[in-house]
A and B are shown apart, each in its own frame.
Chain A
Amino acid sequence: MEPLEGGVRAGSGAFADYRLEGRFFDELFGADGSPRPACRRLGEALGRVPPEELARIQESVHRRFLHEGITFTVLGKDEVSEQIIPIDCVPRIVTPGEWQEVEGGIRQRMRAINLFLRDIYHEGRSLRDGVVPAELVLGCPQYRVEMRDVRVPHDVYVAVGGTDVVRTDRGFAVLEDNMRVPSGVSYMLACRAATKRALPELYREHRVREVSEYPERLYSTLASLGSGDGGPRVAILTPGRYNSAYYEHAFLAGEMGVDLVEGRDLVMHDATVYARMADGLRRIDVIYRRIDDDYTDPVAFRENSVLGAAGLFHAYRAGNVVLANAPGTGVADDKSVYAFMPDIIRYFLHEEPILANVETHLCRDPDGLAFTLDNLPDLVVKEVGGSGGYGMLVGPESTAQERSAFAERLRADPGNFISQPVLPLSRAACFVDGGVQPRHVDLRPFTLHGSRGQHVVPGGLCRVALSKGSLVVNSSQGGGCKDLWVLAA
């Protein structure tokens, strides 16, 4: 795309359908309708390129995803379907200063979470001191008593984290922590590859920070946690090809050159994990598990699981294999615990949180429940252990009947829910319906934490709600993704 000489403005020319709304921060345009300084070239290019050419570019990135099979799996009632994740060809730009804030906030949060997890499975100081109510943590379904006093290599509980960051009119905030099995990094890399190919000149002009080294970084991180003769042997444990993120598991295994194992490939012998190879059994030292705690080991956890490997947790406790992330990290994902994250940061790091939390009401508190029930039409209500956009109520988009049914669920089990205000998510330029229009977006940066420190990928999965007005960005709920360009300083 050639840049356009002269100015462009929201609401005119190629952006005739691009209506700014003051309550939503716009990633492309400033409040005065002209492109933000860092986005000037992008805005000019979008203004210059005819819609037919943009449509061709959009089609090319879509076809790339289709032919390369960049998919996610949707489990329906009666069938399993494989869907191409929708991609939007227009990148979202983040300035170096903005990224510094996001990265700093995520690093801080990740350090605090690892210290918090170590504490709740050992001394429990933070629980005794009332930083987080003990009953909240100990009663959390993701709290694993089996992990008490287990020595975790280098005290790294969360080796791979994903943090959902949103931008509102008040700035960046953390919406959710994903410390169990965060997914989406492969889509981040696929978006980058597709966008770079579709918009080569624009990409070159922007001095975008690279994300392609992620698989190498991931491997180094995992290997740093293990030991073994001749270097630790790493494998990815997947639930199998019917898992929604199977494409990602296979992609990462291929990029890292490690085995993609299922539970049925693993054999336990003398509290040691072996993989069944074509030429015999071979020891595995580090397992990057992409499977929930419950399913990792039918002996230690859910006994009817056929996805994991019996005896795996025993080998882990014996120190003969590293599991990343460690079992029990889901406590940090819990949406009730999330509400206490600023206090956790202050307690363990003696610092003020760099990234704010979203205002959260705990329905386990009578006041929180009453507030939630009184304001259901204006709130988003989520299950504390939910993910993927399932099991939630978006008040403004719900019917009276749905709210009534949800209220019943709230009253029956208030501890299972939290509520938050409907966030005015920022909007970014997308090519939809033959033109450039704003759509709501969020951002999931990924963090790696090994024995030698942290690394935050300079980019992330930028999810976009492609339906007009929709605030739900989850791919399982019709959302798509786009490339995120973090500019070099």
Chain B
Amino acid sequence: MLARTAADLYWMGRYLERTEQTARLLRHQLSGLPDTPADELALGWRCIYRTLGQIAPDAPLDADEAEVFLVADAYTLAGTLIEDHTNQDSLISCWRMARENATQLRPQLPLDVWTTLNQGYLWLAECDFPRAWSAGPTGLASEAIGRLRLLAGVVESSMARDDAWRFLELGRFVERLQHQTTLLSNWERVGRRGTQGIQLQWADLLRVCAAYELYCRRHTMTVRGREAMHFMLHDPEAPRSLCFVVRSLEALLTGIDPLASRHPLAPPHRMVLRLAATLAAGAGAPLETDETEGGTDRAEGELLRRLAADGAALHDLIIYAYVAYPITKGLPR
């Protein structure tokens, strides 16, 4: 496979994952509009914007962040993340970028994949945001998630499990690794800094991550912060847990570079093994009660920081190993 093609697939996977993550956060946040207290909503917006690396629209640079989200209206905050073409991380921008990558990948993609992606983009591009908002704020995010899930299903059912699929999934999981690390970190740090005891609910985090039902089966319906964090870090079967993500990355990189074909291991593969080891080391720590959170906070915060740094480095290593390698290293022996 061409190196540029691998890069396009990788980026397509990243953009699609980013689109879905944004839509999931928005769907949860917007579903709370009718009955959630204003300060809790503001806290939610703050967490979302931080996680997506965004600042509130029209906010002065020196403004107090908490205050900004308290006075901002949901329509503007959601619109910026959904339909703002000037925002590179909005749903429409990410979907467009995924489609642009896919445009260059048509020889590699089954027609069904391209068509489903294209139809989704055309739907969003032609969507009348004010009208959709009037019909129900969550409708648009829900529809977007549905279309993205449909696309994921079409990919699942129609793509051969070759390197094209692997690079697409690689992008998806690298994005998920970075996003989940940031989300967990922000939910912990931003989410419980509300005034007057207001804080983000861990059950909501699990719902955003499509992990609530599994958590309930593993534990109880009463979600405890420490357990939820541990679950999202170490559960091997929840698709958005970091353990699951890292294992998926390892399997994908093993497929791209079978162990027998390269020695020593390719740098991205080594980095993923390090991520797995880091996670495994953190998994053994005993679960503390909420009363002793201060101690585990530091441990998990440090773990998340290391995972975030290694996740960012992983991206660079992938690009260097498969796309932008020096020509002298690529010549046939």
- A interface residues (Cβ-Cβ under 8 A, vs B): 66-69, 241, 246-247, 250-251, 253-254, 257-262, 264-265, 267, 269, 274-283
8 Å CB contact of B122 from A66, A253, A262: A66
Number of A-B contacts (CB under 8 A): 82
Complex A-B: 16 CB contacts under 8 Å: A67-B122, A68-B118, A69-B114, A241-B103, A250-B103, A253-B106, A257-B107, A259-B2, A261-B2, A265-B4, A278-B1, A278-B167, A278-B322, A279-B1, A281-B332, A282-B332
Would you give the shortest CB distance from B21 to chain A, in whole angstroms?
25
B280 CB within 8 Å of chain A:
no
8 Å CB contact of A281 from B108, B122, B167, B330: B330
Residues of A within 8 Å of B163, CB to CB, are 278
CA distance A260 to B111 in the complex (A): 16
Residues of A within 8 Å of B332, CB to CB, are 280-283
Closest residue of chain A to B111, judged by CB? Answer: A68
CA distance A251 to B109 in the complex (A): 11
Are B4 and A67 neighbours in the complex by a CB distance under 8 Å?
no
8 Å CB contact of B1 from A262, A274, A277: A277
Are A67 and B2 neighbours in the complex by a CB distance under 8 Å?
no
Q: Other than A267-B327, A278-B5, give 15 A-B pairs with Cβ distance below 8 A.
A: A69-B114, A69-B118, A246-B103, A250-B107, A258-B107, A259-B107, A265-B3, A265-B4, A269-B327, A276-B3, A276-B4, A277-B2, A277-B3, A277-B330, A278-B1
Residues of A within 8 Å of B167, CB to CB, are 278
8 Å CB contact of A69 from B3, B103, B108, B256: B103
Closest residue of chain B to A68, judged by CB? Answer: B115
Closest residue of chain B to A281, judged by CB? Answer: B330
* Given known A68-B115, A275-B2, contact A280–B331 (CB-CB < 8 A): yes
Interface size class of B (residues with CB under 8 A): 20 to 34
B323 CB within 8 Å of chain A:
yes
Are B2 and A278 neighbours in the complex by a CB distance under 8 Å?
yes
* Given known A250-B104, A250-B107, contact A269–B331 (CB-CB < 8 A): yes
Residues of A within 8 Å of B331, CB to CB, are 269, 274, 280-281
CB-CB nearest 9 A-B residue pairs: A254-B107, A250-B106, A253-B107, A278-B6, A281-B330, A280-B330, A278-B322, A276-B3, A278-B1
* Given known A68-B118, A69-B118, contact A276–B103 (CB-CB < 8 A): no
Would you give the shortest CB distance from A406 to chain B, in whole angstroms?
38
* Given known A281-B332, A283-B332, contact A276–B2 (CB-CB < 8 A): yes
8 Å CB contact of B118 from A67, A246, A280, A281: A67
Closest residue of chain A to B103, judged by CB? Answer: A241
Closest residue of chain A to B323, judged by CB? Answer: A278
Closest residue of chain B to A253, judged by CB? Answer: B107
Are A278 and B3 neighbours in the complex by a CB distance under 8 Å?
yes
B87 CB within 8 Å of chain A:
no
CA distance A275 to B108 in the complex (A): 16
Are B114 and A262 neighbours in the complex by a CB distance under 8 Å?
no
Residues of A within 8 Å of B111, CB to CB, are 68
CA distance A376 to B265 in the complex (A): 72
Residues of B within 8 Å of A68, CB to CB, are 111, 114-115, 118
Would you give the shortest CB distance from B257 to chain A, in whole angstroms?
8
Residue-wise, chain B 114-149 has the 8 Å CB interface mask toward A (1 for contact) of: 110011001000000000000000000000000000
Would you give the shortest CB distance from A355 to chain B, in whole angstroms?
35
CA distance A283 to B114 in the complex (A): 29
Would you give the shortest CB distance from A4 to chain B, in whole angstroms?
35
Residues of A within 8 Å of B100, CB to CB, are 241
Main DSSP-derived SS at the A contact region: mixed
Which B residues, 136 to 182, have Cβ-Cβ distances below 8 Å to chain A?
Answer: 163, 167
Are B104 and A67 neighbours in the complex by a CB distance under 8 Å?
no
Which B residues, 72 to 122, have Cβ-Cβ distances below 8 Å to chain A?
Answer: 100, 103-104, 106-108, 111, 114-115, 118-119, 122
CA distance A264 to B2 in the complex (A): 11
Would you give the shortest CB distance from B102 to chain A, in whole angstroms?
9
CA distance A282 to B327 in the complex (A): 11
* Given known A265-B2, A269-B331, contact A260–B118 (CB-CB < 8 A): no
CA distance A246 to B163 in the complex (A): 24
Which B residues, 16 to 30, have Cβ-Cβ distances below 8 Å to chain A?
Answer: none
Would you give the shortest CB distance from B172 to chain A, in whole angstroms?
17
CA distance A275 to B4 in the complex (A): 10
CA distance A283 to B106 in the complex (A): 22
Which B residues, 48 to 65, have Cβ-Cβ distances below 8 Å to chain A?
Answer: none
8 Å CB contact of B115 from A67, A254, A257, A261: A67
Are A260 and B3 neighbours in the complex by a CB distance under 8 Å?
no
Would you give the shortest CB distance from A64 to chain B, in whole angstroms?
9
CA distance A269 to B326 in the complex (A): 14
CA distance A250 to B119 in the complex (A): 19
CA distance A253 to B109 in the complex (A): 11
Closest residue of chain B to A255, judged by CB? Answer: B107
Residues of B within 8 Å of A260, CB to CB, are 2, 5, 104, 107
Closest residue of chain A to B104, judged by CB? Answer: A241
Would you give the shortest CB distance from B170 to chain A, in whole angstroms?
11
Residues of B within 8 Å of A275, CB to CB, are 2
CA distance A257 to B163 in the complex (A): 14
Are B108 and A254 neighbours in the complex by a CB distance under 8 Å?
yes
Would you give the shortest CB distance from A59 to chain B, in whole angstroms?
15
Closest residue of chain B to A235, judged by CB? Answer: B2
Closest residue of chain B to A259, judged by CB? Answer: B2
Residues of B within 8 Å of A69, CB to CB, are 103, 106, 114-115, 118
CA distance A62 to B123 in the complex (A): 16
CA distance A321 to B2 in the complex (A): 18
Closest residue of chain A to B329, judged by CB? Answer: A280
Residue-wise, chain B 254-298 has the 8 Å CB interface mask toward A (1 for contact) of: 001000000000000000000000000000000000000000000
Residues of B within 8 Å of A262, CB to CB, are 4
8 Å CB contact of B330 from A66, A247, A276: A276
Residues of A within 8 Å of B118, CB to CB, are 67-69
CA distance A254 to B115 in the complex (A): 15
Residues of A within 8 Å of B106, CB to CB, are 69, 247, 250-251, 253-254
Residues of A within 8 Å of B122, CB to CB, are 66-67
Would you give the shortest CB distance from A95 to chain B, in whole angstroms?
33
Residues of B within 8 Å of A280, CB to CB, are 329-332
CA distance A259 to B327 in the complex (A): 19
CA distance A278 to B2 in the complex (A): 6
CA distance A249 to B294 in the complex (A): 59
Would you give the shortest CB distance from B327 to chain A, in whole angstroms?
6
Residues of A within 8 Å of B327, CB to CB, are 267, 269, 276, 281
CA distance A279 to B253 in the complex (A): 13
CA distance A269 to B332 in the complex (A): 11
CA distance A258 to B107 in the complex (A): 8
CA distance A174 to B268 in the complex (A): 58
CA distance A253 to B5 in the complex (A): 13
Residues of B within 8 Å of A251, CB to CB, are 106
Are A264 and B115 neighbours in the complex by a CB distance under 8 Å?
no
CA distance A261 to B163 in the complex (A): 17
Residue-wise, chain B 1-14 has the 8 Å CB interface mask toward A (1 for contact) of: 11111100000000
CA distance A241 to B107 in the complex (A): 13
Residues of A within 8 Å of B3, CB to CB, are 265, 276-278
Closest residue of chain A to B256, judged by CB? Answer: A278
